[in-house]
Amino acid sequence: MAGKVAIVAGAGSVGPAGSTIWGNGKATAVLLARQGASVFLLDINDAAMAETKAIIDGEGGTCATHRCDMMVAAEVREMVQACIDRFRRIDVLVNNVGGSAPGDPVAMDEETWDRQIGFNLKTAFLGCKYVLPVMVEQGRGAIVNIASVAGMRNDYLSGRSHVGYSASKAGVIQLSRSVAGTYARKGIRVNTVVPGLMHTPLVEYRLARTVGGNDAQKLIEARNAAVPMGHMGDAWDVAHAVLFLASDEARFITATEIIVDGGSTAFMP
C-alpha cells in the first residue's frame, strides 16, 4: 500500500480508551497504515478517532483525521475535498459505517427504519458518490464496502429480527456489485467484505446489555458456540480481507464479496 491514500470511515472504536478489543474500522486503518498507506480517518467520535491516530503516529505511520457524518451529503463532499487538499489523491475508500436496531416490520417504527437505511446504506452510497469522480479522474481506485451476513442469511433460530439491518446490508452488497459493473472499464474496483459473528467492542458494550442480559461472558460463549470454527472472528480478520481487496494483488477482483464468518452462513438453515 506504499504511496496510496486510503479513506477509512468509522475509524474510531467504541468502548474505553486503551481497550485491546478493536472495531473493524480501527483495525483496518491501522493495518493499512502499517502497509504504507496514508490514511484519512473519519468518525463522528473525535476522541475515538484521535486514539486511532495516536496509534498510527506512534508506529511511524501517516494519517490525518476529519470529523464527518457520512449520512450528510454536504459533509461527505467537504470531507473528500479535505482529503484531496491534504494528500492530493484517493486510491482506496473503505465504507465502514453501520449498526443494527432490532425489530420486525410491525414492531419497528418508521423513524428507526429510515435511520437503518441511512446509517448502513446511504453512508456507503454517499461515500461512493463523492469519491468516484476523483478515482475516475485518476483512472484507478478501489472501494471496499462493509456489509454483514445478516444481508445474506436470516438466523430465525435466534428468535431475533432486525429487518432494517438485514435489508440495508443486503443493499450494500448489491450497491457494490452495481457500482463495480458501471465503473469496471474506468479502472475502479468495488467489492464487499461480509463479516459474521465478530468479537468487537459492540459485543461487550452494547449487545451484552441489549440481548445478553448484561452478562458479556455468557453472550461471548454463546456467540463462539454458534460459529462452526468454535469461536468468533475479530476486527483483524475483517481488516485483512479489506487489505487484500484494496491492494494491487486483487487487481482482477471486482463485483464480489469475501465472507469472513468462520463458516457460519454455509451452515445456516
Same domain, 190 and 110: yes
**Amino acid residing at 221:** E
pLDDT, tens digit, 9 for 90 and up, residues 117-164: 999 999 999 999 999 999 999 999 999 999 999 999 876 656 678 999
Residue among 156, 165, 183, 205 flagged as catalytic: 165
Same domain, 124 and 246: yes
- Report yes or no on 77 lying in a domain: yes
Euclidean distance between CA atoms 66 and 5, whole angstroms: 14
Instruction: State the cell numbers at 241.
Output: 480481507
Same domain, 136 and 14: yes
Judged by average pLDDT, the poorest of 17-21, 41-45, 124-128 is: 17-21
Number of independent structural domains in the chain: 2
What CATH number has the domain bearing residue 131?
3.40.50.720
Query: Containing domain of residue 224, as a range?
Result: 199-232
Active site residue 165: yes
**What confidence tier does 213 reach under pLDDT thresholds 50, 70, 90?**
low
pLDDT at 218: 84
Contact indicator for 261, 233 with CB cutoff of 8 Å: yes
pLDDT at 222: 87
Same domain, 103 and 137: yes
- Report yes or no on 267 lying in a domain: no
- Report yes or no on 262 lying in a domain: no
Q: Name the β-bridge partners of 75.
A: none
- Report yes or no on 266 lying in a domain: no
- Report yes or no on 97 lying in a domain: yes
Query: Nearest 5°: CA angle at 77, between 39 and 49?
Result: 35
